[in-house]
């Protein structure tokens, strides 16, 4: 069964594989390692008996005192797509916005259109994200607390 855990340094190479397969403009290993050390990368893993495999990840941080969440990256390994992995990762952020107690908390997803596949739009819509603001090459989608 797939489960969520914060990435460790040992997960870097598998996370980078998912990153390279999923993004046109991948983050560098140095930046990814920094995010891992800051506990800003949550992975979805499976242990098949032969070892742990990273199926996908989400990069996020709490962006203020109200514990609103800012998502900067999400990716699922191509061989694991369409199995609910991305939704499991996204739901973790939705459930933990506001520390799980502030129902007015929001989750924002920052997207750079040149790097995000068109497939991301239905995914965001499915999770009730709406365009919040657009500036230059950056689009911000927001899901407000209490939305189902």
12: burial class by Cβ within 10 Å (0-12, 13-18, 19+)? middle
Q: In the block, which residue shows the tokens 């694991």? A: 80
pTM for the structure as a whole: 0.85
Locate the DSSP E strands across 63-103: 69-76
Dist. CA 110–CA 88, nearest whole Å = 19
Examine the pLDDT at 135 and tell me if it is beyond 80: no
- Give the contacts of 102 (CB within 8 A, at least 6 positions apart): 66, 67, 145
Confidence of residue 110 (pLDDT cuts 50, 70, 90): confident
Of 121, 14, 8, give the one whose Cα is nearest residue 76. Answer: 14
More confident residue, 104 or 93: 93
DSSP code at position 53: E
Examine the pLDDT at 116 and tell me if it is beyond 70: no
pLDDT at 77: 94
Examine the pLDDT at 65 and tell me if it is beyond 70: yes
For strand 69-76 and strand 52-62, is the pairing parallel, antiparallel, or unpaired? Answer: antiparallel
């Amino acid at each position: 069964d797939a489960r969520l855990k914060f990435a460790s340094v040992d997960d870097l190479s598998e996370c980078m594989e998912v990153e390279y397969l999923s993004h046109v403009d991948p983050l560098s290993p140095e930046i990814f390692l920094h995010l891992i050390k800051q506990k800003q990368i949550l992975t979805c893993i499976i242990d098949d008996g032969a070892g742990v495999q990273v199926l996908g990840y989400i990069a996020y941080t709490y962006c203020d005192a109200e514990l609103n969440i800012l998502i900067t990256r999400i990716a699922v390994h191509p061989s694991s797509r369409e199995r609910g992995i991305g939704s499991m990762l996204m739901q973790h952020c939705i459930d933990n916005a506001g520390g799980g107690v502030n129902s007015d908390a929001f989750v924002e997803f920052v997207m750079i259109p040149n790097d995000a596949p068109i497939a991301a739009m239905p995914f965001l819509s499915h999770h009730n994200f709406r365009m919040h603001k657009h500036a230059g090459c950056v689009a911000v989608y927001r899901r407000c607390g209490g939305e189902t």
